Amino acid sequence: MSRYRGPRFKKIRRLGALPGLTNKSPIDIEKSGLRNQSRSGKKSQYRIRLEEKQKLRFHYGLTERQLLKYVRIAGKVKGSTGQVLLQLLEMRLDNILFRLGMAPTIPGARQLVNHRHILVNGRIIDIPSYRCKPRDIIMARDKQNSRALIKNSLDLPPREELPKHLTLQSLQYKGSVNQIIDSKWVGFKINELLVVEYYSRQT
């Protein structure tokens, strides 16, 4: 299944806030969500797990194949599969740029990376799924158009407090990764255990 490119508000109304997908939200999103729930009645356990999986996929901008790959990798690592899954997704370069505020959305961050505007430790990285590590330095290329794109995002009011695992030096268009993210600093509300359950029941 390919990456979703359809109407973003449609997904938000059905699944709730997806800050990585869009920096805009309809005023009546909560009311419309409640109306949808009241119409649909009680959800099945399958539907609940499916919607959590979709929330994760659309927030991070993944294809179905990519998300399944991350779930399998997380399942092979010692520790809670759900928490490891979130750590893997949060440490992607496109998500790090988004969390730093250097891009307004994850699709916007992906475009910055694809168009070679971003350096990691002094090297151009054009792979959005690049897995960042502690002590990585992420910054804009020393080009006017690269810095202008990032400045537009940094000038916007911050959506949320900067997570503790990141440091931003906005005047230098630079951010750094201090440590692997703690689960409490994940950027949106998700029940990752239901995502793991969803995939475990498909096999």
In the chain, where the domains are located: 8-85+188-200, 92-179
3-state secondary structure of 174: strand
- Measured between alpha carbons, how far is residue 182 from residues 7, 85, 112, 138 in Å? 32, 12, 26, 20
pLDDT value at position 14? 66
pLDDT digits (tens, 9 = 90+) for 144-176: 999 999 999 999 888 788 999 999 999 999 999
Which residues of the chain carry a pLDDT beneath 70?
1-16, 23-41, 203
Distance, in Å, from the CA atom of 164 to the CA atom of 148, rounded to the nearest integer, reads 26
pLDDT value at position 161? 86
pLDDT value at position 18? 73
* Architecture, CATH, for domain 8-85+188-200: Orthogonal Bundle (1.10)
pLDDT value at position 183? 80
| 74 close to 81: Cβ distance less than 8 angstroms | yes
In words, the CATH class of domain 92-179 is alpha beta
pLDDT value at position 83? 94
Distance, in Å, from the CA atom of 92 to the CA atom of 127, rounded to the nearest integer, reads 9
